[in-house]
Amino acid sequence: MACDLEVARITSLPADGFYISDFISDDEEARLLHKVASAPLPRWTQLSHRRLQTWPSALTKNNTLLASPLPSWLVCPVIKRLKELGIFNDAPHGAPNHVLVNEYHPGQGIMPHEDGAAYYPLVATVSLGAPIVLDLYKKNIQDGKNDENLDGDALKTTDHIRRPQYRIIQERRSLLITGADLYTDYLHGIAETTSDEDLSPDTICNWDLLREKDPYRAGWYPRETRTSLTYRDVLKVAKMGNSLKFLGGR
């Protein structure tokens, strides 16, 4: 990764984790939220605890992405800046080719899960609308018994009953980058709560990198609707000429 990224390193994490609080501007955030909200209704997949959009498409059953460009509003400014930082330089395609848009209302979250082997082990997440706390859990031997979640992306586990080993506040307009051992050896999740609590420099590992600390000094913060853009590189991509075999054609 580019050396400029070192100032954004979350030093208390055991592996590569970086946090940039002002990754996009207020105007850019507003434009992205408008694009998310104006997407056609069929673009949304409603799950039990949240809803999501998948761009450019969902993966096939064998974790293959059918080659198609991302829409321009997901490329600029985010991917342009990721390239400037050198984030995905070592990834097979040199840039993200897949984006999940997750919407979390107060009280909604996602169970601790891993993203799995379909992706290059690097994730860049842009947060929009409101802050939220991401919990990280060290994987244990029981995690190999997980069942697939409804979106085919997460793995359900019983780890929500454990206390997280690390907690990260993701402010609106921020970028969080996780990779290497954080991708392979840890689960990540978002608690289903109407407020994030026990917030302090001792419990939040990116506290020193936050843009604003005052909203959290009381130790808790009420949840509002938060939208995330999760950028990843799918390893297996089928060119459109070969798409029929993945769709069941002959």
Mean of pLDDT values over 218-222: 98
Terminal-residue alpha carbon distance, the chain: 43
Q: Are 176 and 232 in contact (CB under 8 A)?
A: no
pTM above 0.85, yes or no: yes
What's the whole-number average pLDDT of the chain? Answer: 89
pLDDT class of 161 with cuts at 50, 70, 90: low
10-19, 34-43, 152-161, 236-245, range with the lowest pLDDT: 152-161
Residue 110: both structure tokens together: 């996602």
Full set of structural domains in the chain with CATH: 5-238 (2.60.120.590)
CA 75 to chain centre: 16
CA 167 to chain centre: 14
Mean of pLDDT values over 60-70: 95
Q: What is the pLDDT of residues 89-112, one digit of tens each?
A: 999 999 999 999 999 999 999 999
Residue 164, preceding peptide bond in cis (omega within 30° of 0): no
Mean of pLDDT values over 24-47: 96
Mean of pLDDT values over 64-71: 96
pLDDT given at position 147 = 33
Share of the chain above pLDDT 90, in %: 80
88-102, 154-168, 178-192, 210-224, range with the lowest pLDDT: 154-168
pLDDT exceeds cutoff 60 at 119: yes
In this structure, the strands spanning 175-179 and 98-104 are: unpaired
Q: Are 114 and 140 in contact (CB under 8 A)?
A: no
Q: How far apart are CA 15 and CA 181, in angstroms?
A: 6
pLDDT exceeds cutoff 90 at 215: yes
pLDDT exceeds cutoff 80 at 243: no
Residue 248: both structure tokens together: 């069941």
- Higher pLDDT pick, 156 / 22: 22
pLDDT exceeds cutoff 50 at 160: no
Pure H helices in the chain: 26-37, 72-74, 80-85, 181-184, 243-246
pLDDT class of 140 with cuts at 50, 70, 90: confident
pLDDT exceeds cutoff 60 at 155: no
Residue 208: both structure tokens together: 């020193």
pLDDT exceeds cutoff 80 at 241: no
